[in-house]
Amino acid sequence: MTHVLIVGSGPTGLTLAIELARRGVDLRIVEKSPEPPAGVRGKGLQPRTLEVFDDLGVIDEILATGREYPDLRSYQGDQVVWEGRMDEIREPSAAVPYPNLIMQPQWRTERILRDRLAALGHRVEFGAEVTGFEQDDEGVTVTLSSGESVRCGYLVGADGGRSAVRKGLGVGFAGETFESERMLLADIRTGDLDRDHWHVWGSMEKQVMYFTICPLPATDVFQLVAPGDGDLVALVAEHAPHVRIDEIVWRSEYRVNIRMAERFRVGRVFLAGDAAHVHSPAGGQGLNTGVQDAYNLGWKLAIGSEALLETYEDERMAVAEHVLGLSTRLYREADAQRGDNTNQLDLAYLGSPLSVGERGGERLGALFAEQRGTGFLQLGGTGRVLPPLDGQKGVILVRPDGYIGYHGDESGLSAYLSGFGIDAPLARAAR
């Protein structure tokens, strides 16, 4: 029996698959599309996601093929009327090794993650759609479009906003779909713009954006984003007649959706990523929040205790609700702040049953090299461990996803571990 069947091979599903694969968990990952996507949807990787990708072993290629967001250049017709940045470029530090938002086309992020998964011995099964499933006390029986019946211990729906898994569970998807608010995305080629700026056309007087054209790193393609769903060639010709579109490589229109599932777990079935929450495009939160879902869930599924699995919904629903509020404000309010509000470094699991002690639930924000890998990290106490941070008293146990689980007297650590079904040898000491 497959231990975990993952439905959906976007960044969320792939992150989860890598997390399970590097722990030796038996898994399958299926995708209804016959082949990997070609167009660019999400393209912003937040600092916290970059820390996750460091742990997963893909950060070097992510940084080598991506780039920091370019300076903005705003036009009226062919005249430059303003230049500047939407964020401040920051230097790395011990606490924040990846301080800047990185632009990386989603198709390439997925390809890098697929390559990492392949190195761990697993591949995405494309063209395999889930047509139904039933669960019982011992597992889940899933039917695929091929007619195959798959028996698994747990099923994870990471299959997007139209999730077949969520619908099969009958879980509500509360929120709004703004039928009149549509966005156009297109990957285009043009020889009339430089690749050092993010080019913007709009009217400051009318407080309206006509369209933006952004160079995608390590490609010869630009991404055009515009409100509405009209003729993009005519739109560009109207406001930027000096810019000729040589080729439209890919295009897509979508409605703005802001929704969250009413449950992230029903029995042995879990929801993650867009299957659990969909965001406005503002602030680059959707893809990144999905990666964090998977990073939270992976190590818990690998250990598999019920007490631990129960914490997934509690922790991630609270984060998703917060992030949905943030991305909605960024979409609605022109002066809403990004930067520290969107980098996801301050997200924490305060109040979670897993968070015990003064610093319980906080991101550790230190010792990133020591945190790499699949185990827990113990700071302070007896044995071969690192000394406390900055004179911090007591023992700190860092979860595999980089958050402090336990902070307190060493005498209480064993009870904490056993209470969540975590075998003591899994709580490795830092060397």
Q: Which CATH number is 214's domain given?
A: 3.30.9.10
Rg (CA), the chain: 22
Residue 350 belongs to a domain: no
pLDDT band for 430, please (50, 70, 90 cuts). Answer: very low
**What is the reported pTM?**
0.94
pLDDT digits (tens, 9 = 90+) for 102-152: 999 999 999 999 999 999 999 999 999 999 999 999 999 999 999 999 999
Question: Of residues 170 and 323, which shows the higher confidence score?
Answer: 170
Top-ranked range on mean pLDDT: pick from 112-116, 182-186, 283-287: 112-116
Q: How far is residue 289's CA from residue 398's CA, in Å, rounded to a whole number?
A: 21
Which whole-number Å values give the CA distances from 240 to 213, 222, 232, 233, 253, in the listed order? Answer: 11, 15, 11, 10, 21
What is the predicted pLDDT for the residue at 427?
Answer: 53
Task: Note whether 242 and 389 are same-domain residues.
Answer: no
Task: Note whether 280 and 131 are same-domain residues.
Answer: yes
Sequence-distant (6+) residues with CB within 8 A of 143 are 130, 131, 132, 133, 149, 150
Residue where one domain finishes, among candidates 236, 256, 276: 256
Segment 301-316 shows an average pLDDT of 97
* Token pair belonging to 265: 């777990």
Residue 272 belongs to a domain: yes
Weakest mean pLDDT among 86-90, 307-311, 336-340, 409-413: 336-340
pLDDT band for 167, please (50, 70, 90 cuts). Answer: very high
Task: Note whether 129 and 34 are same-domain residues.
Answer: yes
Residue 204 belongs to a domain: yes
Segment 406-419 shows an average pLDDT of 94
Is beta strand 125-126 parallel, antiparallel or unpaired with respect to 130-135? unpaired
Residue where one domain finishes, among candidates 256, 288, 314: 256
SS3 342: coil
What is the predicted pLDDT for the residue at 425?
Answer: 55
Instruction: Evaluate if residue 395 carries a pLDDT over 60.
Output: yes
What is the predicted pLDDT for the residue at 176?
Answer: 79
Q: How far is residue 288's CA from residue 52's CA, in Å, rounded to a whole number?
A: 10
Got the DSSP string for 281-335?
STTS-HHHHHHHHHHHHHHHHHH--HHHHHHHHHHHHHHHHHHHHHHHHHHH-TT
Residue 82 belongs to a domain: no
Residue where one domain finishes, among candidates 199, 225, 256: 256
pLDDT band for 338, please (50, 70, 90 cuts). Answer: low
Print the domain residue range for 15: 2-67+96-174+258-341
What is the percent of the chain where pLDDT is above 90? 76
Position 163: which residue type? S
In the chain, how many domains are there?
Answer: 3
β partners of residue 184: 226, 253
What is the predicted pLDDT for the residue at 264?
Answer: 98
What is the predicted pLDDT for the residue at 428?
Answer: 53
What is the predicted pLDDT for the residue at 381?
Answer: 81
Task: Note whether 237 and 292 are same-domain residues.
Answer: no
Element spanning 377, H or E: strand 377-379
Element spanning 62, H or E: helix 59-65
Question: Of residues 324 and 132, which shows the higher confidence score?
Answer: 132
What is the predicted pLDDT for the residue at 383?
Answer: 62
What is the predicted pLDDT for the residue at 206?
Answer: 76
Task: Note whether 169 and 182 are same-domain residues.
Answer: no
Task: Note whether 327 and 403 are same-domain residues.
Answer: no
Question: How many CB atoms are located within 10 Å of the residue 431 CB?
Answer: 7
Question: Of residues 430 and 80, which shows the higher confidence score?
Answer: 80
Task: Note whether 281 and 378 are same-domain residues.
Answer: no
Ramachandran region, residue 53 (left: φ > 0; alpha: ψ -120 to 50; beta: rest): alpha
Instruction: Evaluate if residue 285 carries a pLDDT over 80.
Output: no
Instruction: Evaluate if residue 190 carries a pLDDT over 80.
Output: yes
Question: Of residues 268 and 284, which shows the higher confidence score?
Answer: 268
Question: Of residues 37 and 61, which shows the higher confidence score?
Answer: 61
Residue 84 belongs to a domain: no
Task: Note whether 41 and 102 are same-domain residues.
Answer: yes
pLDDT digits (tens, 9 = 90+) for 82-98: 999 978 899 999 999 99
What is the predicted pLDDT for the residue at 173?
Answer: 94
pLDDT digits (tens, 9 = 90+) for 202-261: 987 777 889 999 999 999 999 999 988 789 999 999 999 999 999 999 998 877 788 999
Instruction: Evaluate if residue 274 carries a pLDDT over 70.
Output: yes
Instruction: Evaluate if residue 387 carries a pLDDT over 70.
Output: no
What average pLDDT does the structure give for the chain? 90
Sequence-distant (6+) residues with CB within 8 A of 431 are 384
Task: Note whether 302 and 422 are same-domain residues.
Answer: no
